[in-house]
Amino acid sequence: MNHGWTGRRGPMVAECVVLGLLLAVDIGWAVHAGLPSGLIGQAAFELVPGQSTAVALLAVLRRRFPKRVLVLGCVVAALSLIGTGAFVASAALGQPLPMELGLTELLALALLVGSAARRLAPVPAVVVVTAGAVAMIAQALLRYGFGGLVAVPTAVVWGGALAVGLLLRDADFRRSSALSEVRVGERLLLARELHDLVAHHITGVVVLSQAGRRIAPERDEVFGEIEQAGAEALAAMRRLVGMLRTEGELDATPSGLLDAVERAVPPEAQLTVQDGLDVLSVTPEAATTVHRVIQESVTNAHRHAPQARQIEVAVRVDDEWLVVEVVNDGVRAAPGGHRGYGLVGMAERVDALGGSLLAGAVPGQRWRVSARLPLVRTV
């Protein structure tokens, strides 16, 4: 799937286009203004295209190197201040430069200020935001001859970039917290289901120890200790899991793969199972995971495609893999940007068993979730 890459590529392309247009405007304005007089002025004039191109490139590189935003922001701010210093020095030496627009620098600084506010730790973020503010205000006050009027919209641009960065930072934090809650919730559910899986084996140990006491009375003390330890382990596990359970959860592990599938599929969904699935013996973990994948996929279909008229669930065996597919219609547009929280929980379970999970749009305004689990048969 490449929805995440597509979601990131779109803003980057738009950003490059806008920076390219502003760069063309800056260079065109400089050429139209004409070559200044004096050696210093001419040298500074020749640096304008290269400096504008450099800051535009550095602003775009922050997407490729998000951990280098501090360095990139400080370099762009330094280049802007050098350009402003050259403008002031030329005027002081009697060789004033023509007025520059500096739109590329302004946008590059705004992008890096917003990126720093979003991604960096507080101290580095303050450094970049402050450096950007100094460079942008210095550019507005010293390069233009409008009595500082340009400083007001420049400050607005800086404040807007900072506000957008902080909003995106908060959104990232909320999403990260939500994903953590999903993972923790899924793992708690796995812990609760662990009782049902382990209890079966401990019960077998207790039964075998009871049988051993009858077959070998001379070992009654040893088998008695084994039986007592197993019974205490079961009791302790029941108490612990009892505190973790909530209403509406799966009370017991499905008795088999077909039972897990049928319990997860609602009446309105169409179920297709391969012949022989009812006698296929798989591990309890696989059966529980199949149940959760189908259950969560159907829930997502109802939540994100309420106008769906058809939900199809198919379970089959493909060589040494158990394949579960859930397809629903009524999808108007493919979600962009990132996986939903429900998919995160499903992926946690499937990955833990060595499987893979794919989800994405398919032709016909349909959405498909496909899980492949290694087929480990029990004896």
* Regions of the chain short of the pLDDT cut 70: 1-8, 30, 33-50, 95-99, 145-148, 186-201, 203, 234, 237-255, 333-342, 377-379
pLDDT at 337: 45
pLDDT at 315: 93
87 and 114 both lie in a single domain = yes
237 and 287 both lie in a single domain = no
- The enclosing domain of 315 has a CATH number of 3.30.565.10
Domain membership of residue 40 (yes or no) is yes
| Sheet with 356-362: strands ordered across | 270-273, 311-318, 321-328, 366-374, 356-362
User: What values do phi and psi take at 216, rounded to 5?
Assistant: -125, 80
100 within 8 A of 31, measured Cβ to Cβ: no
207 and 137 both lie in a single domain = no
Domain membership of residue 329 (yes or no) is yes
Domain membership of residue 49 (yes or no) is yes
Distance of CA 305 to the CA centre of its chain: 22
User: What values do phi and psi take at 284, rounded to 5?
Assistant: -60, -35
Beta bridge partners of 317: 322
What's the pLDDT tens digit per position in 56-111?
Answer: 889 888 888 888 999 999 999 998 888 888 777 777 777 666 667 778 889 999 99
The sign one gets for the Cα dihedral 85, 86, 91, 94 is: positive
Grouping H, G, I as helix, E, B as strand and the rest as coil, residue 107 is helix
301 and 335 both lie in a single domain = yes
- 332 by Cβ neighbours in 10 Å (0-12 / 13-18 / 19+) ranks as exposed
Structural element, H or E, at residue 197: helix 151-215
How many structural domains compose the chain? Answer: 3
195 within 8 A of 252, measured Cβ to Cβ: no
306 within 8 A of 356, measured Cβ to Cβ: no
- Alpha carbons 287 and 292: distance in angstroms, whole number: 9
What's the pLDDT tens digit per position in 137-150?
Answer: 888 888 776 556 77
pLDDT at 69: 92
The residue whose two tokens read 């902080």 is: 166
pLDDT at 5: 42
Domain membership of residue 117 (yes or no) is yes
74 and 191 both lie in a single domain = no
51 and 10 both lie in a single domain = yes
Q: CB within 8 A of 225, min separation 6: which ones?
A: none
Distance of CA 299 to the CA centre of its chain: 21
pLDDT at 131: 93
Domain membership of residue 35 (yes or no) is yes
pLDDT at 4: 43
- 241 by Cβ neighbours in 10 Å (0-12 / 13-18 / 19+) ranks as middle
Domain membership of residue 154 (yes or no) is no
Which domain-ending residue is among 104, 130, 149?
A: 149
Q: Which domain holds residue 214?
A: 182-244
43 and 115 both lie in a single domain = yes
47 and 143 both lie in a single domain = yes
Q: CB within 8 A of 215, min separation 6: which ones?
A: none
